[in-house]
Structure 1
Amino acid sequence: MAGIIGVYAFDKIWNISKFLYYGLIGLQNRGYSYSGMSILKENFQLITNEGAPEDIELPPNIEGWAGIAYTGTKIGYPIITDFGTLVVDGIIKGDLNEIAKGLYKDPENTLKEINGVFSLIFLAKDGKMLGYRDSYGIKPLEIGGFGFDLAILSSETSGITVIGGEFRREIKPGEAVFIDTYEISYSQINESRHNYCAIDLVYQSRIDSFVFSKNIYEVRVKIGEQLAEEKKIDADVVIGVPDTAIPFAIGYSKKSGIPYDLGFTRTGSPIRTMLASDDFLKIIGVQLKLNPIKYVVKGKRVILIDDSMVTGRTLKNTVFALRSLGAKEVHVLIGSPKLISKCPYGMEVPEEKDLIAANLSEEEIAKVIGADSIYWLSLEGLYKVLGKSICVGCMTRNYPKVI
């Protein structure tokens, strides 16, 4: 799982280093264990960091008119080759140096031959930039611009808008975009099959983004409304785990008529507990980033909505915290179907043995996390909101056969 971004100035007098840096920070919700960027002036300058993009230290004299950057959960990107620099979100088969060579010398035929589930951005040594999504479209890629001066490629639109850019459109599955100092052109390289990642829409993307041509906030409000249709609960207040699940809670409140309230206040930088590599962070990640508000929950029957449940450890701690502050009842609703299988395409869903919903009944899970009840969005409800052109393999064990 990764966030990738490319920034390209049509005039070489520009220095895009800060645009690239802050755009990458806008994508660290997609992974933050490793990050790096490659900036081109006469030559490439590579900066890597074992940590989040916000911890990258830019050299004071760094300059360049084009660059690409990566933030993710495993090291290795960006890579510099004899032919250019490459960043990848997803799983790509083959030697990356050979792929970079092919993208430089014969990009369209090379893209026809690459296997995997990925989006990529390639910045060639001659200054041309290329973006591409594989034909299944499981990984996103968007394009925008900064006036007529910059072109911006990004995993999601937050990487574009946080630096003042304007979102233009989605790169279609199987489509390549070619950028040079004279023009931006598009080519449909491979057949478009459309299997958007459901977890990207439900959990991974920022609520202020457009991904897969969908407004993430609107999607999640509709999921909350769907939860209210499927599971009616007699309660006093609805709260959502920030930031991802707040729109779910708003949607549930609108549909059910139960008041929504702010249940938590942030205590530090966002921590995506599903993406955490440290077991300590996985266990107490919610407490590190959020603190419940006693006034909202004391003496009340609380509906707590979260985007997903992986191991159950963070929700167990959250439910315990709400009860410690005097919540009379805690009913947990999950804005996605049960996660029961590891993702083979790079989304950070753990092994099946570690997924609580794959190993325990609903009654057992409610008891483990200390909730009065628990309910997951139905698969039919997810399809109703998102349509059926989505990958739900981690929820069904049925994956598109793409590798």
Structure 2
Amino acid sequence: MILMAGILGILAFDDVWNVSRFLYYGLIGLQHRGYSKSGIAILNKQRNIFTKLENVAPEDLEIKDLNGWAGIGYAGIRNSYPITIDNGAIVVDGMIDDNNVLNHVIREPENAIDDIKKPISFIAISKDGQLIAYRDELGLKPLSIGGFGFDLAVISSEPTSMFVIGAEFKREINPGELVIVDKYHIESKQVRIPRKSYCTIEYVYQARIDSMINEREIYDLRVKIGEELALEYPINADSVIGVPETALPFAIGYSKKLNIPLDLGFTRTGSPIRTMLSSDAFLKIVGVQLKLNPIKSAVKGKRIILIDDSMVTGTTLKNTIFNLRKLGAKEIHVLIGSPKLVSQCPYGVEVPDEKELISANLNDETIARVLGADSIHWLSIEGLFKAIGHRDLCLGCMTKKYPW
């Protein structure tokens, strides 16, 4: 089962609270991690758990009948979370072959973690009023903790869900750390020895640009990636354009480093759509046009540096280049702010099968021709290390070498 998800847990320290709206807006702050399915499980004053699962984006989730002082939420590509487990409910970011291994998370969390054989993060809510959260020992699946002073505790995949509801981000949960929160205290225990191997895709694509992942500010990191691209591929051009929103900081870094004007090449149409996550073939083809419309005066007659965060099948990028050519772009040189994707991810990041990955099957010259670009270049792995500032990375989808 392939999963990409945002997970969230909120617990009030007094049962007079109703946290359903906090969960709702917090999930909207995570829907960039997976927008097609959502769900909430909430604990009421009578210690009953009510669950709502929908095949809709979090912003379309109906919550008017949910009322409780603690709960968990899910935004992703599956409609089976939250799932009911022994005396509670749970949400998971990662791959689980058998949901039965989760059944003892509430009663015996440490023993249950021993039975988990793949890297996952989870947040559970018990009928006794506990939030139980765990982050895998590699740190592949991010998890953070924060809150509203002495009123609410919040645990989330990214701090972005805390920002949108006005909560304060405290810290990231460490790889291999188990955290248990109730009305009276927060307990933390290192249950597995950390073997840090952070997911590269989180840095270059998945995390929101206003987020923090593994003690790195994502916006600053992506600006540095753009600077590394400028050092590796200094191309003579009239304008630098980043594909919104992920690649905009790449373009800013590249533009500053080489003193080439930065242009806003696109304007948004409708709600954000992450075409990399889509299983709809039509959406993959026209999705970029649905979410972004090119600006003619920004590209006509110009030599363009077009920067994107990643390239999977090449379908959306080909469509983007076609539209820029149609509006009169003179040259289009493509830079990708990550190394080539050449292999599927076994840990739950939505990377297609190798046969669908364009950079795993064609050389650079052929790819440029297929896309309609004048040239194409990828950030080197060494450039990635320099931008991030460490080498504790999982690069499996880029090197076929996996840490687990």
| TM-score in terms of structure 2 length | 0.97
User: 1:70 is aligned with what amino acid?
Assistant: Y
The aligned amino acid for 1:241 is V
Q: Distance in 2 between matches of 1:39 and 1:385?
A: 41
Structure-1 residue corresponding to 2:371: 369
Match of 1:255 in 2: 257
Deviation at 1:33, TM superposition (A): 1.7
Selected match of 1:192 from 172, 191, 194: 194
Within a 5 Å distance, the mapping from 1:142-153 to structure 2 comes to 142-153=144-155
Residues 224-279 of structure 1 deviation map (CA, whole Å, 9 limit, x = unaligned): 00000000100011010000000000010111110111111000111111101111
Aligned to 1:37, which of 31, 36, 40? 40
Secondary structure at the counterpart of residue 225 of structure 2:
helix
The equivalent residue for 2:94 is 90
The CA deviation at 1:83 is 1.3
5+ long unaligned stretches in structure 1: none
Offset, 1:142? 0.6
Residue pair 1:129, 1:178 contacting (<8 A) in 2 also: yes
Q: Who is 1:63 aligned against? A: 67
Superposed displacement of residue 112, structure 1 = 3.0
Residue pairs, 1:156-305, within 5 angstroms: 156-305=158-307
- Report the Cα offset of residue 93 of structure 1: 4.7
One-letter code of the match for 1:88? V
Taking the aligned partners of 2:319 and 2:115, their CA distance within structure 1 comes to 47
The alignment yields a C-alpha RMSD, in angstroms, of 1.0
50-59 vs 2-11, which deviates more?
50-59
Cα deviation per residue 1:367-399 (whole Å; 9 max; x = unaligned)?
Answer: 000001100000111111222101010000101
In the alignment, is the contact (CA less than 8 A) between 1:93 and 1:115 conserved in 2?
no
Q: Contact between 1:93 and 1:114, CA under 8 Å: does it hold in 2?
A: no
Q: Which residue of 1 aligns with 2:119?
A: 117
CA–CA separation in structure 1 for the residues paired with 2:220 and 2:168: 19
Deviation at 1:62? 2.2
Partner amino acid, structure 2, of 1:326: G
Note if 1:331 corresponds to 2:341.
no
For the residue of structure 1 that corresponds to 2:25, the secondary structure is helix
- Alpha-carbon deviations, 1:46-78, whole Å to 9, x = none? 11110211111112x421000001011123211
Identity among equivalent positions (%) equals 62
Describe the SS at the equivalent of 1:116.
coil
Deviation, 1:37, is 0.5
Give 3-state SS (helix, strand or coil) of 2:339's partner: coil
Separation in 1, partners of 2:372, 2:268? 23
Q: Tell whether 2:16 aligns with 1:13.
A: yes
State whether structure 2 residue 325 is matched by structure 1 residue 320.
no
Q: Which amino acid aligns with 2:185?
A: E
Contact 1:94 1:114 in 2 (8 A): no
Residue 84 of structure 2 is aligned with which of 80, 85, 89?
80
Aligned residue identity for 2:214: F
Partner residue, 1:385: 387
Q: Aligned residue for 2:354?
A: 352
Give the C-alpha shift of residue 108 in structure 1.
2.0
